[in-house]
Amino acid sequence: MARRQISNKLATRLAILLTLALAPLGLIAVYSEHASWKARKETSDTMLILRTIDSVTGQRALLESAMQSARALTSQVVETLEEPESCSEMLADFVSAARLFSFAGFIETDGPMRCVSSGEPRNLGSLEGFDRAMAEPLPYFTFQQIGLVTGEAVIVASWPVYRENEQLGRLTISISRTMLDLLSTNPDPDIAPKAAVLLNHRGEILTGSGLTDGAALLPPHERLQALISQRSGVYRATGEDGRERVVTVAQLTPSQLYVLGTWEAVAESPGLAPDIARFGFPVMMWIASVGVVMMSIHYLVVRHLRQINSQLRRFALGNRDDFQRLPESAPTELQEIDSTFSKMARLIARDEHELEEALREKTVLLREVHHRVKNNLQLIASILNLQIRRLKHPDARLILKGVQSRVRALASIHRMLYEETRVSNIDATSFLDRIMQDTRALASPGKQGLDIECQFDPVSLPAEKIIPAALLFSEALTNAIKYATPSTGSQSPKVTCGIRAKDGLAELWVRNSLTEPAPETAREGLGRELMTAFAAQIGAELDVGGVSDDAGHGWEMYLRLPDAGLNPRTATEGRAL
């Protein structure tokens, strides 16, 4: 419920509308910033890759020169292959003239190496990994910590030698690590990578710079293989020392030679990270716009609406004091609403006053009617009393006493109506209690030991039903007292009565105790006819007759009356007489 109230507030709806209105501008700004950031990132990545390539320019040139030389020598090797001495002399002349390479030799597919630039011919077929190296169909580079001929660390450029689609072997040219170090450049440390290494197609390290800590700056071998498979790009990877760094990868020679550079993450170019401030501009613009609009709405509308609402609430709670008008700075539309409400409140207050005066006059008139009816009924009862004194016949006197009793009950009801302050829904509890008191007082002297217990719950009844219900109760209570006798095991007669509200109905009951079961004649007589007539007049359900249960024998009247309600005033409960 609270969530719904928040969503229905004017400020919330305006914030939603402003968000929708500014959404296209925000999307354009975000897209523009993303495109700009992407362009800057691509430029920065390209710059890092170029710097990485520049850091190994000399070494790259020497290695590529060795591979191209191996390719160029393959034709001469094929021509002189049948003359190993001529082949070896040719390779020796090449190495001597180049002065960059330490060794050149041809390895046949089955292992013999008879054509060499220096040293004695030998067989390499028994070496570990020979078959795998010979099976490679493409040129490649390898690194040997101890060269088989030179005895020093070398990088070997290997080129396959074919004759009419038949592989004869591989021509290898060795480059000493010392020569590579002499040709390596010393780039500016401010713009060069922390470490730069040359890798072959298997991800094996050939040579590099900045590796004073060994391979700790580089990612693990499996990660190296995955990176060179991407050929070119800028990535993040964790080195062997556990620190995350920026890694640049570039392919120098397709499927042969790669370069990998590592950069400290803190030294990463700003272009690699998006400009959060520029990305947040649409959000800040939305917040500022919503804030300005909400402050404006509060100053121009909401605070005045709250004042009008406060006046409306006071008026609804019955406060009819003069209302505080809106200030002249309020918008004209709200001033018109405030003026209209003030006029309406004055008209309603005037009409309420007139209605209250009319209601008061009608109430006074109705009470006067009840008072006059009560006086007339008391006069009739007095006349009946005079007539009873003149009669000598007992039956006639008894009949007139019954009529007098009913007239007095009706007069008592009108007296209570005259004393009642409310005439719409009347407290039935006080009515029934007064009737029970009067009926008990008029009981015959032989019933002085009578025990009466009544349970009256707070119940209210409409004014048009209270009189028939009260007369019916008086008739039932009079009959119950008149014919009550002690029940089995009791020394005095007992009468119980009560009323309660249940599910919109008023349940009214009267019961007496009997020594023997009630005769069939108890269902007949004038009292029964009167009670039936009263029940039909108010649309109630009536059950009258003898009962026998755990409480013993007795006679009972049970009435179910609709249109009843709880009365907030306290009624008499559990009064025993």
Q: Report the pLDDT value the prediction gives residue 510, as an integer from 0 to 100.
A: 92
Task: Report the candidate in 214, 275, 235 with the shortest Cα–Cα distance to residue 38.
Answer: 275
Task: Tell me the whole-structure pTM to 2 decimals.
Answer: 0.48
Q: Of 250, 245, 254, which is closest to residue 195 (Cα–Cα)?
A: 245
pLDDT at 104 over 80: yes
For residues 389-404, average pLDDT: 81
Encode pLDDT of 169-215 as tens digits. 999 999 988 888 777 766 666 677 877 888 888 888 888 665 554 45
- CA atoms lying within 13 Å on the CB side of residue 352: 11
Residue 577: both structure tokens together:
């007489």
**pLDDT average, residue stretch 502-518:** 87
Q: Each residue of 36-94: pLDDT tens digit?
A: 878 888 888 888 888 888 888 888 888 899 899 999 999 898 888 888 889 989 989 99
Q: Is 9 or 251 the better-scoring residue by pLDDT?
A: 251
Give the pLDDT confidence score for residue 564 in this predicted structure: 61
**243: pLDDT strictly greater than 50:** yes
pLDDT band for 576, please (50, 70, 90 cuts): very low
Name, in order, each residue with C-beta under 8 angstroms of 250's C-beta and a sequence gap of 6 or more.
49, 52, 53, 231, 232, 258, 259
Kind and range of the H or E run holding 471: helix 463-483
How many Cβ atoms are within 10 Å of 125's Cβ, its own excluded?
14
Instruction: Check pLDDT > 50 for residue 281.
Output: yes
- Percent of residues, the chain, with pLDDT higher than 70: 86
Q: Is the pLDDT of residue 497 over 90?
A: yes
Helix ranges (DSSP H) in 298-423: 303-316, 332-390, 394-419
Cβ atoms 289, 22 nearer than 8 A: yes
Across 12-26, 328-342, 468-482, 525-539, least confident range: 12-26
Percent of the residues in the chain that have a pLDDT greater than 90, as a whole number: 6
Rounded Cα distance between 92 and 104, Å, is: 8
Q: What angle do CA 531, 532, 537 make, to 5 degrees?
A: 95
pLDDT 10s digits, 292-346: 877 888 888 888 888 888 888 888 887 777 777 888 778 888 888 888 888 888 8
Contact 51, 245 (CB under 8 A): no
Helix axis angle for 281-297 and 10-54, nearest 10°, is: 160
